[in-house]
Amino acid sequence: MLKKLTALVLAVLLANTYVPAAQAREYPELAMDCKAALLMEYESGEVLYAKNEHEPMPMASVTKIMSVLLVVEAIEAGNVSLDDVVTASTHASSMGGSQIYLRENEQMPLRDMLKSVIVASANDACVALGEHVAGSEDEFVARMNRRAAELGMKDTNFVNCTGLDAEGHRSTAYDIALMSRELLGHELIFDYTTIWTDSVRDGEFGLTNTNKLIRFYQGANGLKTGSTNGAMYCVSAAAKRDGMQLIAVVLGSSSGAARFEAAKTMLNYGFANFRLLPLEKPEIPDVPVHGGVAEQVIADTVLPKSLLVEKSFSKQPECEITLPERLEAPVEAGDEIGTVIWKAGGEAVYSAGIYAAQTVEERSFGFCLIELLKKFIMI
């Protein structure tokens, strides 16, 4: 029971626990043709480069990252299946722009619809999937906005699930990086985002990935392109090298080639200047508790597997644990009771809180009486 409680407490703390030691990162001067851009390291979520990252603007079919996220989450929750047969409605088959030309009432396996959205940015397949998951595109879009709020996408508003130009349909480079990071946590998507060419309808309709980086950039493994008159040319590009996953978001480039060049510029900068340093979890001792029903409380912390550092960083950080000699009861599970700090050359490079992983209640008169009786009976 105690192990389960410990795991539960630490899971709750995971989103709020480890915070890198504050560092003022200076962004380099990168020559890129775009209105906004952002480079994020996947594991830490740290921003390595940004330009107008919080300015809301149209994002075209990069929108479909959220659409795909909801579909993948529905699959993993067991609400829908890759083997489901999806039927195209009149509304879905009426979509313009990129499409696979679904006919009204045409049926296709969900896996092929999903492949068409991710690889070829098919608007008709995207709407059909949204209707299949939520019953209607309107309800699906409402879910998209709720999920965006959950992810902290404060400057995003979805009006449709495709990214076609619509009044009020906006996001930012930072928000797009957040939803891209969330989607990259689902292994299923790599079965589709890494496809260069494929087909649907038993080979009758060919698909070619709109993300040219998949073929021409080392380590590229996603994610989604987009272009409309209002958004111009956009991409959320993902690539992984030497165990480090990066996300490069580009909005408002003047051409398709320019958006890919901008993404490559940021990715090249990230891979050339940063690396992940393995971070081993230290042994944290239990802390004595005075006046509690238990003599000690389990202390623990939640840490990432690696620490993001600049490649010029050559010092081996040392771990320093700070805990009180004892605690006074009561102690609540989740109380911050100490810190763990990694230092290199005397400078803190990373810090995280240490928390009580269990509740230790204060001794009551009744508890003390029972303990006394136990000792008397044993005598």
Active-site residue list: 61, 64, 121
In 10 A of CB 115, how many CB atoms?
Answer: 23
- Return the H-helix or E-strand segment holding 302: none
Residues counted in the chain? 379
CA angle 236, 238, 242 (to 5 degrees): 160
Q: Which of 290, 289, 287, 288 is nearest to 299 (CA)?
A: 287
Q: Which of 158, 128, 132, 156 is nearest to 143 (CA)?
A: 158
Beta-bridge partner residues of 36: 251
Rounded to an integer, what distance in angstroms lies between the CA atom of residue 346 and that of residue 68?
45
Q: Which of 177, 225, 234 is nearest to 42 (CA)?
A: 177
- Amino acid letter, 119: V
Q: Using alpha carbons only, how large is the chain's radius of gyration in Å?
A: 25
In 10 A of CB 185, how many CB atoms?
Answer: 10
